[in-house]
Homo-oligomer: A and B are copies of this chain.
Amino acid sequence: MPPPDPSRRNEHSRRAILEAALALVGELGYDNVSVEAIAKRAGCGKQTIYRWWPSKGAVVLEAAIQSLNPVVVFPDTGDMVTDLREQLVGIVDLIATTSFGAAYRGVIAAGQSDPDLLQAVFEQVIEPNIKGFTARAALAKQRGEIRPDADVATLRDVLYGVIEYRLFHDMPLEPQHIDALLTLTFDGVR
């Protein structure tokens, strides 16, 4: 029998920790979950978690990103409104049906007094989103799906900003809000 592969064992532990973090935040709320509780649920020691992550916020952030990543892809069917609708409704569904929303709310709340955590959110959530959005919007400009002078950075701020706004204020967040947002930003109110 070959010796156990340590990288495989590590991968197994990491996955168990991230799953435990997301599940516990969903069950108890971010503030009521400790690193100890995550370790216990994952069947490892607290020191294993601190070997890989600097804080509870960092673990929960990675767990949240892992569930967000498959949803925030930027499809390209040739129609930017259709593509954005699919992605944004995917985010709304993720919030409605998983612990992602609870985890993200907890991380952003903790980030208001933890600049390192807020910086990690920027680097791991916002920056990749800016990159993907900007690339998709560049194609959309080439093809006339949006105006050549359309302000892509502000459009991105608006779309994800409103989702976070409604999430943090516990306001309803449904596909109809995405439709309204896309109509407003694409057609304007004037």
- A residues with a Cβ closer than 8 A to B are 29-31, 105-106, 108-113, 115, 118, 121-122, 126, 145-147, 150-151, 153-155, 157-158, 160-162, 164-166, 168-171, 177, 180-181, 183-190
Contact = CB atoms under 8 A, between A and B. Distances in A.
Given A157-B166, A168-B164, A188-B187, A112 B121 contact: no
Nearest to A112: B109
B126 A169 contact: yes
Contacts of A113: 29-31, 106, 109
Interface of A is mostly: helix
Q: Closest 10 CB pairs between A and B? A: A188-B188, A161-B165, A150-B189, A109-B112, A109-B109, A31-B113, A161-B162, A154-B180, A186-B190, A187-B188
